[in-house]
Structure 1
Amino acid sequence: MRPIDEESRIALDGSRPADTLIVWAWRDGSLVVPEPLQVIDAGWDEDAGDSVKIGQNISLTVADPDGSLGAWRLDDPLGVAGTLLQVIYKIGGARALNAAWFRITDNTPDELVDWRVINEYGYEEPDGDLEPHTRRVPVITSVVKIDAVDLTIGPDRDKLENPESPGAGATIISEFKRLTHDYFPTVVDPGVTDRTVSRQLVFDRERLEAGQDLLGRISARYRMGGDGECRVYPLGGDSVWRVEPGYGLVSVKRRQSLDGLYNRWVVEGKESENGQPVRAAVSIETGPLRFGGPHGRAQSFYSSEMIETYSQAVAYATRLRDEFLSSLAVVLTVETVPRPDLQAGDRIEVGAPVVAGYVAYLPGEITSIRRSFTTVPGSTVLTVSCSYADVVNALNRTDWAQHLTGNKPALTWDRMPSTWGSAPAITWDNLP
């Protein structure tokens, strides 16, 4: 989560003017445009997780009244040969916070050309339709579409020319820093536990991917901060925000898909001594995905020459099944009020109204954030991955609301507001 001052945090929870972006263009430590870019609209995306490429990207449409920002040369002010964008998020009615730094990857001008006649003494166009001492000149105005990605593009493009291995005494964090230090400083957030790394590891070609894999060994990820620093943060942790009806929530949507819902894992190998095939299968035996139940039969196959015995095949099939069950998730699309302090990778609680008549609080991880400054100024759409087990537990809550649907949990005074004071025991049967 991005750091934010108390005044701005309070403003985020109330009504306020529209938020805006302030964008400065830099190259080699100096401003290349003397004023902030005139942003007409913007889309800003953040992604985190194992199934997507981690990072941020931004698309801007900027006004270009004099036609000077549409790049011809690579080193023009908004050219792709090293121009950086500093993005500052201005909270309506409050302060601003540093959001991120990006490198321009695409510049696409949309120009409007108007021809005007100007006086120019001594100029005469033979056989032209203009009077002597006048000349027709183009006047160009445009808007420029700019695409940019965060500073991780540096180590991502900078490939390792030769295989590399960690040095003596290296740790996960020190190796991550070594691989990326030419592009940004690294800050380690609380909760990350470093450890030594084997010198037998070999990094080949992909610099940033090697760093990401290293952090995965200590249950950590990276993400870029607002001052151009890379922050290494731990997976999991506590929720940083609860969004619910009346407190920031606009809508919650969800979707189910049959794809990838296996219920049997078949592992195949080969005995090392005689080459005889080895095969074992492990199934889901209970619940809605049970093998042979209404869900049917859906096998996933895995084969490896490393599997040499039946017990190894069983163990690996069991591991695949358990990893699948632990990764089952309900993915929510959550539209909220603008929250520039949230980052992909944060954990939040989503209060989703359900038809049973109550709000189910679903803990989950933000895997992506989509911010728009076009049709709805400052609208924010979060993709939140919630553990399937957590969702089921939240939907199975027992409280007063479920009494209305006919499910009567035990009712005691300690479930009632403390302002009611003490009273004798009460049951459903003696309610009025």
Structure 2
Amino acid sequence: MRLIDDVSLDALEGSRPADSLTVWAWRGDSLVVPEPLEVIDWSFEDQAGDSVKVGQRISVTVADPDGSLGAWRLDDPLSVAGARLQIIYRVGGAGAVNYGTFRVTGNEPDEVTESRVIDEYGYVEPDGLLEPHKRRVYMTRSVVKLEAVDLTVEPDRDRFEAPQSPGLGATVLGEVRRLLSRYFPVVVDPGVGDVAVSRQLVFDRERLEAVQDLLGRVSARYRMGGDGELHVYPRAAVPVWRVGPNEGLVRVQRKQSFDGLYNRWVVEGKEDGSGNPVRAAVSIDAGPLKYGGPHGRVPSFYSSEMITSTAAAVLYAIDLRDQFLASLALELNVECVPRPELQAGDRIEVGCPFEGRVVWIPGEITSIKRAGSTVPKGTSLTVVCAYGDVTAALDTTDWAQHLTGQLPPLTWDRMPATWGTIPAVIWDSL
């Protein structure tokens, strides 16, 4: 979550003058244009996940009255050979939120050229149709579309020229700082631990993939902050905001798809010492995905010569099943009022109408899309909610109604699938 002052937070909750975007253009440590660029239109996308291709992207269309911003040469002010954009979101009637600094990756001018004839005493147009003392001058008006990405693109492009390994006593966070120190400061958010790393570890070619793999060892990810710093943040964090009916929510949608909903895992390995084939299968035996139940029979297959016994095949099949169940999630598409401080990777709570009430479901923002011209057009979020959190949220009120006698007592065949998450105080009352 980006830093934001209390006055701006209060302004975001109510009516206010139009928000705006301020964009400064830099090359190295110098401004290449003395005034902020005149923004005509913009769109912004922020993604979180376990790929180096995620991150923040922005597209800005700016006015170019004299045609000087559309790049011809690589040393032109806004060329792709080093120009950067400093993006500031200004909350109408309040303060500002630093979006961050972005590397220009594309410069696309849309030019309109006009001409007119002026008087110029003594000028004669060579082989021209104009009478003496007349000159035709040309004027170019244009807008320029700039594409830019956050500064993690710099270490991503700077790959290792030779393999590297950690030094003596190296730790995950120490190595992350070492690998990224030349690009930006690294800030470790609360909740991120640190562990030692082996000197046998080898970083082969990709610098940013090495950082990602290191952070995976401490259940953390990275993202750029608003002041040009890289933040290391924990994957399992507390919600930083809630959005729901009468609390900033415009619309929430969801969609189910049965693609990838397996209920049996078949693992095959190399023949054992007796020449018998190594094979094991593990199924989901209860619930809505029960193998052979209404969902049908949907096996997933895996084979490896590294598996040399039936016992190992069984354990691996169980592991695949458990990984699948842990990964089950519901994706919510949330449209809300403009919230410039939110970032992909933040956890929030979404209030969803359900059976005449509002249930609050926690989830992680995996994608943010924003757009605007002179007025912001709102914020679109993709929020991934763990299936267990969804069912727990939907069933919580039912537990309370059962306990107060409003509904019949719970029986074992009617317990929710997430019975293990029921608070102890509720269990004690059953």
1:193-230: CA deviations, max 9, x gaps?
Answer: 01111111111111101111110110000000001000
- Residue 392 of structure 1 aligns with an amino acid whose one-letter code is T
Query: How far, CA to CA, are the matches of 2:406 and 2:131 in structure 1?
Result: 92
Aligned residue in 1 for 2:304: 304
Query: How far, CA to CA, are the matches of 1:239 and 1:265 in structure 2?
Result: 34
Aligned residue in 2 for 1:286: 286
Tell me the TM-score normalised to structure 2 length.
0.91
Query: How far, CA to CA, are the matches of 1:214 and 1:259 in structure 2?
Result: 32
Residues 348 and 363 in structure 2, CA contact (< 8 A), matched pair in contact too: yes
Aligned residue in 2 for 1:174: 174
Is 2:96 the partner of 1:87? no
Query: How far, CA to CA, are the matches of 1:215 and 1:235 in structure 2?
Result: 10
Residues 2 and 226 in structure 2, CA contact (< 8 A), matched pair in contact too: yes
- Residue 320 of structure 1 aligns with an amino acid whose one-letter code is L
Residues 48 and 344 in structure 1, CA contact (< 8 A), matched pair in contact too: yes
- Residue 105 of structure 2 aligns with an amino acid whose one-letter code is T
Aligned residue in 2 for 1:390: 389
Query: How far, CA to CA, are the matches of 1:51 and 1:28 in structure 2?
Result: 28
Query: How far, CA to CA, are the matches of 1:169 and 1:29 in structure 2?
Result: 36
**C-alpha deviation, 1:321, in angstroms:** 0.6
- In structure 2, relative to structure 1, the CA distance for the partners of 1:187 and 1:409 (3 Å cut) is farther
- In structure 2, relative to structure 1, the CA distance for the partners of 1:244 and 1:46 (3 Å cut) is same
Tell me the TM-score normalised to structure 1 length.
0.90
Query: How far, CA to CA, are the matches of 1:273 and 1:132 in structure 2?
Result: 102
Residues 357 and 402 in structure 1, CA contact (< 8 A), matched pair in contact too: no
- Residue 361 of structure 2 aligns with an amino acid whose one-letter code is L
1:45-101: CA deviations, max 9, x gaps?
Answer: 110012673310000111111111101011211110000100011011110121111
Query: How far, CA to CA, are the matches of 1:50 and 1:82 in structure 2?
Result: 27
Q: Which runs of 5+ in 2 are unaligned?
A: 410-430
**C-alpha deviation, 1:347, in angstroms:** 0.5
Residues 19 and 374 in structure 2, CA contact (< 8 A), matched pair in contact too: no
2:376 match: secondary structure:
coil
2:292 match: secondary structure:
coil
Which is further off, 256-265 or 364-373? 256-265
Residues 20 and 378 in structure 1, CA contact (< 8 A), matched pair in contact too: no
Residues 333 and 381 in structure 2, CA contact (< 8 A), matched pair in contact too: yes
Aligned residues: 407
Aligned residue in 2 for 1:337: 337
**C-alpha deviation, 1:117, in angstroms:** 1.9
1:393 match: secondary structure:
helix
The within-5 A match list for 1:233-248 is: 233-248=233-248
Is 2:114 the partner of 1:114? yes
Aligned residue in 1 for 2:364: 365
Aligned residue in 2 for 1:211: 211
Query: How far, CA to CA, are the matches of 2:120 and 2:102 in structure 1?
Result: 44
Aligned residue in 1 for 2:420: none
Aligned residue in 1 for 2:48: 48
1:226-269: CA deviations, max 9, x gaps?
Answer: 01000000111211111111111110011111211111111111
The within-5 A match list for 1:126-275 is: 126-271=126-271, 273=273
Residues 99 and 226 in structure 2, CA contact (< 8 A), matched pair in contact too: yes
Query: How far, CA to CA, are the matches of 2:17 and 2:61 in structure 1?
Result: 21
CA-based RMSD of the aligned residues comes to 2.0
- In structure 2, relative to structure 1, the CA distance for the partners of 1:182 and 1:44 (3 Å cut) is same
1:277 match: secondary structure:
coil
Query: How far, CA to CA, are the matches of 2:53 and 2:228 in structure 1?
Result: 19
- Residue 152 of structure 1 aligns with an amino acid whose one-letter code is T
Q: Which runs of 5+ in 1 are unaligned?
A: 411-432
Residues 171 and 195 in structure 2, CA contact (< 8 A), matched pair in contact too: yes
- Residue 383 of structure 1 aligns with an amino acid whose one-letter code is T
Query: How far, CA to CA, are the matches of 1:111 and 1:309 in structure 2?
Result: 69
1:377-400: CA deviations, max 9, x gaps?
Answer: 241001000011111111123269
Q: Identity over aligned residues, as a percent?
A: 68
Residues 171 and 195 in structure 1, CA contact (< 8 A), matched pair in contact too: yes
1:394 match: secondary structure:
helix
**C-alpha deviation, 1:134, in angstroms:** 2.5
Query: How far, CA to CA, are the matches of 2:97 and 2:61 in structure 1?
Result: 21
Aligned residue in 1 for 2:3: 3
Residues 108 and 145 in structure 1, CA contact (< 8 A), matched pair in contact too: yes
Query: How far, CA to CA, are the matches of 1:393 and 1:177 in structure 2?
Result: 39
